Amino acid sequence: MIGRSPRGGSAATWSGLAVCALALTGLVANALPVPTDPGPVRAGAAAEPDPYCSPGSDAADTAARAAHTRVADPGADAAEGVEVTPEQAAEYEDQLREALVPLRGHELAPPYTVPVVVHVISAEDGRGDVSDRRIQEQVDVLDQAYRGEYALGSEGTDTGFRFELADVTRNADDAWFRDFNRYRDTIRSRLRQGGPETLNIYTTELESGLLGYSTFPQDYPDKPSQDGVVIAHDTLPGGERDRFNEGHTGTHEVGHWLGLFHTFQNGCRSPGDYVDDTPYEREAAAGCPKGRDSCPDLPGEDPVTNFMNYSDDACMTHFTQGQTRRMIEHWVAFRGGDARV
pLDDT in tens, 266-294: 999 999 999 999 999 999 999 999 999 99
More confident residue, 108 or 36: 108
Please state, as a whole number, how many other Cβ atoms lie within 10 Å of the Cβ of residue 274.
22
pLDDT digits (tens, 9 = 90+) for 53-65: 222 334 444 443 3
pLDDT at 12 over 50: no
Across 180-197, b (16+ Cβ under 10 Å) vs e yields bbebbeebbeebbebeee
Round the average pLDDT of the chain to a whole number and report it: 80
Determine which helix (DSSP H) or strand (DSSP E) holds 95, and give its type and residue range: helix 86-100
Euclidean distance between CA atoms 157 and 132, whole angstroms: 29
Distances in Å between the alpha carbon of 72 and those of 1, 54, 107? Answer: 11, 29, 40
| The pLDDT of residue 339 | 64
- State the DSSP code for 98: H
The total number of residues written for the chain in this structure: 341
Euclidean distance between CA atoms 151 and 8, whole angstroms: 35
Sign of CA dihedral 93, 97, 98, 103: positive
Which listed residue (80, 93, 205, 253) is catalytic?
253
| The pLDDT of residue 298 | 96
User: Catalytic site residue 80?
Assistant: no
Please state, as a whole number, how many other Cβ atoms lie within 10 Å of the Cβ of residue 68.
17
pTM strictly above 0.75? yes
pLDDT at 242 over 70: yes
Nearest CA-CA partner of 337 in 121, 127, 136, 100: 100
pLDDT at 43 over 90: no
Least confident of 143-147, 149-153, 183-187, 223-227: 149-153
Task: Work out the percent of the chain whose per-residue pLDDT is above 70.
Answer: 74
